[in-house]
Structure 1
């Protein structure tokens, strides 16, 4: 039995906790509000407090970093989190698995892989690259073992209104209305299914081979939002349509909302193909993507069963 400290209890942190508990691990969940999850022990801590992390994590094998501040707070929120988590984990002498994304790769040559160069196209990518560099440097010095698991945009049960393939996409389409999306509707984009993200985090933590590197979550599909909408109409009786936000609207709204300003700055990911190749992670870690048809069916069923989200 392994012991883990999971920082964050959002969709990914909660899903990871459930998976670890299910296999018999001893799991501690650390959040600022002391969130309680089934089968796990809750502790109240701030992820910017290295002392709190080191205290809560006594005896743990792996620290999982699954927090995710709002877009508009990344510049101020992420750096102290990265510093504290790396410092706290180093004091424990354990392993650190961080949940990341593909932002640091910027406008990469497609498809992106685990070896694509870091070339951030905007500030959020640079922030994520700096955080991983901090963990990697500690790994290089032998202070801890660190890996980062990176995923493209996620989808699945529970994905709310802030997800590009979440409530604001599925709910209008299934209800016969228009779903408004960021960027073009005809560009291929990789989509990571939430349970597959969890599987990759667990596999990365269990890996006995190389650390100090990144892994990619195998995407279930690389479809455009237009293609997905067409599939929903053909397979699930949806009658809605998908349309892009009018040009310039996000930029205008960004004048009043820091979060929307950051959405606009990373909208390049939907202006051209944004496709991930995680074949190396699949081969080495043994993780595979849930077939697109199965993941989509489960996702549609979740939105039809759940009350409409605000």
Structure 2
């Protein structure tokens, strides 16, 4: 099949969906991005279509003729996951089965729960909160459909994102940096000195693309290749050094304060459920993805350089009151 005729359908125009659309378009593929609004974000040669992806009929119609269907959807705040993810996941499987498109999902590491060693493709899923349990169920449903011969699926599992396009509300690191790069003190929710894997958004897109095009990857989940782990403090220091700022100021919020607030602030309650990722080393190993699918992580120096410039501009633009 000619590359130009290989329609690739992406659901979601967040940082990952956008990066994937740019990558696939540059590879000469025909790309269609589905969002609720259908707003054209200005990516050259990419079609934008308004679609309710949780409606299997709409999603099937919008996916007709596609070679690959990429699930880069983001239902929003953690509190909405239990309500919004199940119909979305079911619609993706229905559309993939009806159209014959390969279903490739952008996922995370929540399903592994607390770990004592680096996560790889052999690490068992042992979720410790409802978000991880939900993502685990979604994968098991997709894998069961694959093994039954109804669909072809693959999943890319990434750690916390880093990259110039990551919004402040889409990760703790971005939120901390938004404070420190504006000269304020970042109030951190957990130990800032535990090793942690950070995954470049561009590497998520590269992995998704590889999974969609390589039939040897189907029927399995893959860890997105990332650079060696860095603590929160080390990453913030690197960002500050890149743009010539003094050391970042961090202040840890006592856990008892967070637990006290949890019953009254739903978002805090959800965040507390995944803080195990920062209470101890939380490291992923995507070397098998690199070796078998040819996806290396972006050089850390490039990630830091591009991210620091973008986040510093954003932090200065929004401004912050002194801590």
Q: TM-score range by the shorter chain?
A: over 0.9
Report the Cα distance in structure 1 between the residues aligned to 2:172 and 2:206, rounded to whole angstroms: 20
Task: Choose 223-232 or 211-220, whichever is displaced more.
Answer: 223-232
Listed one character per residue, the Cα deviations across residues 75-112 of structure 1 (whole Å, up to 9, x for unaligned) are 11111111111011110012000000000011123100
Report the Cα distance in structure 2 between the residues aligned to 1:158 and 1:308, rounded to whole angstroms: 15
Give 1:60 deviation, angstroms. Answer: 0.3
**SS at the partner of 1:86?**
helix
Contact kept, 8 Å, 2:108 with 2:156, in 1: the verdict is yes
Matched, 1:91 2:98: yes
TM-score normalised by length of structure 1: 0.94
Structure 2 match to 1:179: 186
Structure 1 match to 2:50: 44
Report the Cα distance in structure 2 between the residues aligned to 1:210 and 1:196, rounded to whole angstroms: 16
**SS at the partner of 1:209?**
helix
Runs of at least 5 residues in structure 1 that lack an aligned partner in the other structure: none
Superposition pairs for residues 146-161 of structure 1, below 5 Å? Answer: 146-161=153-168
Listed one character per residue, the Cα deviations across residues 189-225 of structure 1 (whole Å, up to 9, x for unaligned) are 0000111111111111111314110011111241111
Task: Choose 157-166 or 43-52, whichever is displaced more.
Answer: 157-166
Structure 2 match to 1:263: 271
Structure 1 match to 2:60: 54
Structure 1 match to 2:318: 308
Report the Cα distance in structure 2 between the residues aligned to 1:40 and 1:30, rounded to whole angstroms: 11
Superposition pairs for residues 101-112 of structure 1, below 5 Å? Answer: 101-112=108-119
**Number of matched residues?**
310
Contact kept, 8 Å, 1:9 with 1:35, in 2: the verdict is no
Runs of at least 5 residues in structure 2 that lack an aligned partner in the other structure: none
Give 1:286 deviation, angstroms. Answer: 0.5
Report the Cα distance in structure 1 between the residues aligned to 2:241 and 2:266, rounded to whole angstroms: 38
Aligned-residue Cα RMSD (Å) equals: 1.7
Task: Choose 240-249 or 82-91, whichever is displaced more.
Answer: 240-249
Aligned equivalent of 1:191, options 175, 198, 201: 198
Contact kept, 8 Å, 2:10 with 2:32, in 1: the verdict is yes
Report the Cα distance in structure 1 between the residues aligned to 2:294 and 2:251, rounded to whole angstroms: 37
Structure 1 match to 2:287: 279
Report the Cα distance in structure 1 between the residues aligned to 2:149 and 2:132, rounded to whole angstroms: 26
Listed one character per residue, the Cα deviations across residues 279-307 of structure 1 (whole Å, up to 9, x for unaligned) are 11110110111121221111001123333
Report the Cα distance in structure 2 between the residues aligned to 1:102 and 1:256, rounded to whole angstroms: 27
